[in-house]
Amino acid sequence: MGFSAIDYAVLAVYLLGITLFGIRFRRSQRTVKDYFLGARNTSWIVIGLSIVATETSTLTVVGAPALAYSSFARPEQGGNLTYLQVVFGYIIGRIVISLLLLPAYFKGEIQTAYELLKLRFGESTKNLAASLFLIMRALAEGVRVFAASLVLSAVLSSSLPRLPHLWVWSILIVGLLTLVYTFEGGVAAVIWTDLVQFVIYVSGSLLAAYQLLRLTPGGWSAIAADAVAANKFQVFSFSTDLTLPFTFWAGLLGGAFLTMASHGADQLLVQRLLTCRNKLDSQKALILSGLVVLFQFGLFLIIGVMLFAYYKAYPLETRLTSNDEIFPTFIVRRLPHGVSGLVIAAIFAAAMSNLSGSLNSLSSSTMMDLYKPLLNPRVTDERLLRLSRWATAAWGVALILIAFLARNWGSVFTVGLTIASLVYGPMLGAFLLGVLTKRATQRGVMAGMAGSLAAMMAIRFYTQIAWTWYVLIGAAVCLAIGYATSVLSEEHGWIKRD
């Protein structure tokens, strides 16, 4: 069918509306604390849904259906519902965070995740962890911005096929509009636009699922029959092969450790938890987000199964660059006018909610972890607020540039998670050394982080171990090296205890 004037109007109303909605929160940003943490009076339900929206990028909305749609040599690589095993691990990880890390975060006036490391180990450990976060989050978010550009490229190519460099325009539109309201409204804008965007992208995805059900010949019976024949409904695999990403063991253990890192040691989501009124609200918000994420991934993966059945009945007329384009292509070419615009707006909602959270967290860590303590300890709050906004702008430009580079990096879903997982292990290991043992020292934990990062680089480039194991391995290496270095140096007097 292609994208019509009605669809463009729906998309334009969404993009303009969400930008103006976010800008209006500027009036509540009087201090740096307001800009990065808000007034800490938001309902835990709203924050829980904001967490879901923040971690649900275009990687999820586009990549998860593509994962279930695709065909692989082994079922543990995808092409079915085995990714749900990782989501079960996500829920376990959230429970561990609620019991282990959140009590530590709410003991004092902490504004970033890495201030906890400063209190436990010292300034150098905080600076190292914050630097790793900035590098990892920037690279991973650049991939997510590029993933969003795939959607807009599919839209523009259907009606403006002769416009050159569609992906460039797509990246600029997504990045700059999100930057505007994040620059102005701070974390309050992020949280409340997240809520609006959550409702939009879940509604849009449900609408797309309904249309697939209606348009596929034979309806659900035919979809189920095709899915069963292709083993698309497989959820569990108990293989012990470490090179396969979606096994029960990799999912449960790897998913748990991935979530412990992403929600317990990554400023992107820890910042959201710190906006809660108290520890109990933070715990409730985190657990709620896990249940909603399970529903979400179930929905997105089922959409992928439906796409498989639909395109079996109506084969693609043109070859796709990658399977990541399958869902956007269906939306643009097969959905009715107006509906298509709404569902594309829903995918943009996921992209913008994730990007806005990343911009604000990158800015907060830059200013509070590095700039203020290292470069200008006596900076006034008014000037720091102004600089924080410009740090947000600078990171927005950086992410757009990284998105240009991410074009040839491979599958957006796998690449984005792999980048994060490489750094998450050393970061999580440092936090666990801080809360699980009293003998760990600053030099020990920094040795552990350095050794873990080196080990993860070696594993990534010289082994076939699946990315789902990366965080667990990285955290274990950091714990082992960090604790051993601390104990041996103290017992033998090699270095003075910090």
Q: Of residues 108 and 481, which shows the higher confidence score? A: 481
Instruction: Work out the number of other CB atoms within 10 angstroms of the CB of residue 252.
Output: 19
CA distances (Å), 87 to each of 52, 138, 250, 467, 487, in order?
13, 24, 11, 15, 36
Q: What is the pLDDT of residue 498?
A: 44
What is the percentage of the chain residues whose pLDDT exceeds 90?
A: 39
More reliable by pLDDT, 244 or 346: 244
How large is the average pLDDT for residues 370-390?
90
Mean pLDDT of 303-311: 95
Confidence of residue 191 (pLDDT cuts 50, 70, 90): confident
pLDDT at residue 165, as a whole number: 61
- The band of 497, judged by pLDDT with boundaries at 50, 70 and 90, is very low
DSSP label at residue 336: P
Given a cut of 70, whether residue 166 has pLDDT beyond it is no
Element (H, E) at 492: helix 470-492
The most confident of the ranges 420-429, 461-470, 475-484 is: 475-484
**Please, what are the domains in the chain?**
5-407 (1.20.1730.10)
Res 61: pLDDT: 82
- Average confidence (pLDDT) over 237-248: 92
Position 356 pLDDT exceeds 90: no
Residue 391, both tokens: 């740090």
Q: What is the mean pLDDT of the chain?
A: 85
The mean pLDDT value for 113-121 works out to: 89
Looking at per-residue pLDDT, the higher value among 95 and 179 belongs to 95
- Find all residues with CB under 8 Å of 267, minimum gap 6, and list them: 112, 113, 114, 130, 133, 137, 361, 362, 364, 365
Categorize the per-residue pLDDT at 411 as very low, low, confident or very high, splitting at 50, 70 and 90: low
Could you read off the pLDDT of 252-289 as tens digits, one per residue? 999 999 999 989 988 888 888 988 889 999 999 999 99
Contact by Cβ (8 Å): 80, 68? yes
Q: What is the pLDDT at residue 2?
A: 62
Which pTM value belongs to this model?
0.85
Longest dimension (CA), the chain: 75
Per-residue model confidence (pLDDT) at position 88? 96
Number of Cβ within a 10 Å radius of residue 234: 17
Q: Is 233 in contact with 81 (CB distance < 8 Å)?
A: yes
Distance in Å from the first CA to the final CA of the chain? 67
Give residue for tokens 């498989």: 308
**3-17 pLDDT, tens per residue?**
678 888 888 888 888
pLDDT of residue 470 exceeding 90, the answer is: yes
Tens of pLDDT, residue by residue over 48-60, are 998 998 888 766 8
CB 56 within 8 A of CB 355: no
Q: Which two tokens stand for residue 240?
A: 């012990």
- Residue written as token pair 């790793």: 132
**Average confidence (pLDDT) over 124-139:** 88
